[in-house]
Structure 1
Amino acid sequence: MGKTSLNDLVYSFEPLKIITPDPDHKINEAELQKSIQKSKEMVAVIEEYKRKRAVPK
């Protein structure tokens, strides 16, 4: 397929590759929990920032 540019970025509209996950893959629960906690903290910071910037009506 063709390529398109927008704001100096070039995009290639190629089909996505579908990858099936390995059913025997084991996750590291401790790392997963740390990642979830970090994400929650980042969302809380963003929400607080948005709340502070909100214009009172």
Structure 2
Amino acid sequence: MKLAPHLHRLGNDVVACYLVDTGEGITLIDARLPGHWRDLQRELRSLGKSVD
């Protein structure tokens, strides 16, 4: 979910992490839980990015 320019939130009411998308790359804040790996990949794809 996009919260503001360059700031995205993934998660639910209990667990969340944030992506900061800049021209230099993406910073992941709070890496979440292993079960949320697919959510992270999906959000990165929506930004035209990958974990690579």
TM-score of the two chains, using structure 1 as the length reference: 0.24
Which of structures 1 and 2 has the larger relative contact order (alpha carbons within 8 angstroms, sep 6+)?
Answer: 2
Larger radius of gyration: 1
* Structure with greater helix percent: 1
Of Structure 1 and Structure 2, the greater strand share is in 2
